[in-house]
Amino acid sequence: MKIEKLEHELSGIFAELTANENAINDLILDVHPDYRLSAKNLIRYLILRTHDLRKYHNSLSDLGVSSLRTAEGYVYGNLYNVIRNLNLIKGTPKSIDPEGEIIGFYDSRKLLKQHSYRLFSKEKGKRFTEIMVTMPDEAAENKALVKKMVKFGMQIARINLGKGDLELWKKMVEMIKTVSEETGKKIKIYMDLAGPKIRTSPIQIVNSQGETKNAISIKKGDHIILSKSNGWVPEPLNVTEDLPYKTVKIGVTLEEIIDDANIGDAIYFDDGTIQGKVIAKHKDDLELVIEESYKSKIGSLKGINLPNTQLSLPSLTEKDKANLPFVCANADMLGYSFVRTGSDVNKLYQELDKYKAQDMGVVFKIENRDAFENLPEIILQGMRRNKIGVMIARGDLAVEVGFETISEVQNQILWLCEAAHLPVIWATQVLENLAKKGIPTRAEISDAAMSAQAECVMLNKGPKIILAIKVLRNILNRRQKHSFKKKNELRPLLVARKYVDKTFEAHNKAAAIESD
């Protein structure tokens, strides 16, 4: 592309950003002052990413000018400098008026670090990528184990409120605080709210010898009746194993999904290893056909995902609300599970206000399709408080968006969070084989290296967790000497187009009404 065309087209994008400056200022009125510039940059980035930028990269690189590939954190300033440099190369330096506030490269790095330090409550100058580790049950009693975890690199202790009970969690908190005091190292406490857990109900299979099992054989082509069950722990389903049947009946822990699902909707079990489709719907049950099964059995309390169903389940359950007093009294930050929209953010903040917990760090867990598609809205609503972050919860998210697209989706989440200068927690199955068996796969070592793009990496529990912490710390230290974030091609983003079209159309209508 000729330099004249480059300058003309990029100037057009710059003019679009400038023309929307007043609208952007209106959209961020409720944002906390600490996030004002970051919110503005995020919206600018969303506008930028409605354009196809791929056609500019090579021509700009050939001229020795920034290719826009690393513009996430400082969109307006980067584009301004690119256009100015193109004019200098042309030999026709002309001034363009940057009517909007300029955020430069160093400004963006500074803002990201400030927001990360504030959320993770760490001293400035400490190593950048934090390590979070899920507390195993034995951590409640085993001081030596927790001390080793801290010694080799754990900085954040994760307590999963979806498992265990209040007494166990209290013991974990006490142990973490004791170890922190004895080692002189501040260990932050992160607690995950359970959220609505959609699972198969307990299953009991009794064979002719009276032996009990908790799984049912399943294969491609079989039919399943998914039926309503009351409460979190419904009555177990009893079947006789040696009865001939082609249709299996299974209960669910949250009956609302039976009402929400429609014929043709996909329903996945056990992390997507068993995949079905709704072929009939009745008042109290759904009939599914199994289209693919990578496991031979479906068991009790296995996760259920409905990737293309609009669910009416609340992101914040009554159980979560009951746990909030404990969380607010003992945690440095909480993880908001299954958040889907900006209104979900508001509901959590209203509950936190009841306990005067406006200073609580909040991490929005992106683990379903709705949360990903509404991520700009979730971030901007979240920015009304000044301690927030985002977790890429790749387990459920991979099932929801598809395993073939999860790598693209996780990259888009990283870009949006970098544009918002928000810390990201890279989670799910990081060094899982190493933590469980003591030997890593080659793929998970590469994945751990990729995790250095985030500001925090989460390890799950396992018998070899100390080894996993040591290996991850070593990988992160090495990676951080070589790189910071990465370059990308920047095709138009659907998530950006959706937000820009929806938000600016509403803003322009409101402005037109006011002018009348």
Tens digits of residue pLDDT in 255-286: 999 999 999 999 999 989 999 999 999 999 99
Where does residue 223 rank: exposed (0-12), middle (13-18), buried (19+ CB within 10 A)? middle
> Is it the case that residue 136 has pLDDT exceeding 60?
yes
For residues 343 and 418, state if they share a domain. Answer: yes
Per-residue pLDDT at 230: 45
Edge-to-edge strand list for the sheet holding 237-240? 212-213, 203-206, 237-240
pLDDT at residue 4, as a whole number: 93
Of 82, 86, 116, the residue nearest 98 (C-alpha): 82
One-letter amino acid at 337 equals S
Rounded to an integer, what distance in angstroms lies between the CA atom of residue 314 and that of residue 321? Answer: 11
For residue 262, give the nearest of 295, 227, 287 by alpha carbon.
287
- Per-residue tokens: 365: 């867990």
Given a contact cutoff of 8 angstroms between Cβ atoms, the answer to whether 455 and 155 are in contact is no
Question: 359 and 322, same structural domain?
Answer: yes
326 half-sphere exposure, CB direction, 13 A CA radius: 22
Number of domains making up the chain: 3
Kindly tell me if the per-residue pLDDT of 1 is higher than 90.
Answer: no
Domain of residue 252, CATH code: 2.40.33.10
Average pLDDT over residues 49-53: 94
CA 460, CA 239: separation in Å to the nearest integer? 35
- For residues 36 and 419, the answer to whether their CB atoms sit within 8 Å is no
Residue 244 confidence (pLDDT): 41
- In angstroms, the CA 413 to CA 423 distance is 11
**Residues 385 and 437 reside in one and the same domain:** yes
Structure confidence at residue 128 (pLDDT): 75
Cα(329)–Cα(326) distance, rounded to whole angstroms? 5
Distance CA 490, CA 149 (A): 39
- Does 254 share its domain with 325? no
Based on the domain organization, do 458 and 323 belong to the same domain? yes
12 plus 119 within the same structural domain: no
- Inter-residue contact 188 to 310 (CB < 8 Å): no
Burial class (CB in 10 A: 0-12, 13-18, 19+), 3: middle
Q: Give the end of a domain, one of 261, 282, 305.
A: 305
Co-location of 358 and 390 in the same domain = yes
Are residue 209 and residue 192 in the same domain, yes or no?
no
How confident is the model over 357-415, as pLDDT tens digits? 999 999 999 999 999 999 999 999 999 999 999 999 998 999 999 988 999 999 999 99
Q: State the residue range of the domain holding 298.
A: 203-305
466-516 pLDDT per residue, tens: 999 999 999 998 887 665 655 555 578 888 888 888 888 888 777 777 776
Give the separation between CA 280 and CA 252, rounded to whole angstroms.
17
Amino acid at 427: A
pLDDT digits 0-9 by tens, 54-72: 999 999 999 999 778 888 9
Are 50 and 185 within one domain? no
pLDDT of residue 442: 93
Is residue 188 helix, strand or coil? strand
3-state DSSP assignment of residue 422: coil
Q: Do 332 and 284 lie in a common domain? A: no
Rounded Cα gap, residues 118 and 173, in angstroms:
21
Q: Can you give 261-330 as a three-state secondary structure string?
A: CCCCCEEEECCCCEEEEEEEECCCEEEEEEEEECCCEEECCCEEECCCCCCCCCCCCHHHHHHHHHHHHH
Rounded CA-CA distance 252/202 in Å is 9
Identify the CATH number of the domain in which residue 168 sits: 3.20.20.60
Whether residue 93 is found in the same domain as residue 122: no
Q: Are residues 78 and 121 in the same domain?
A: no
The pLDDT tens digits of the residues spanning 178-217 come to 999 999 999 999 999 999 989 998 877 665 566 677 788 8
Name residue 204's beta-bridge partners: 238
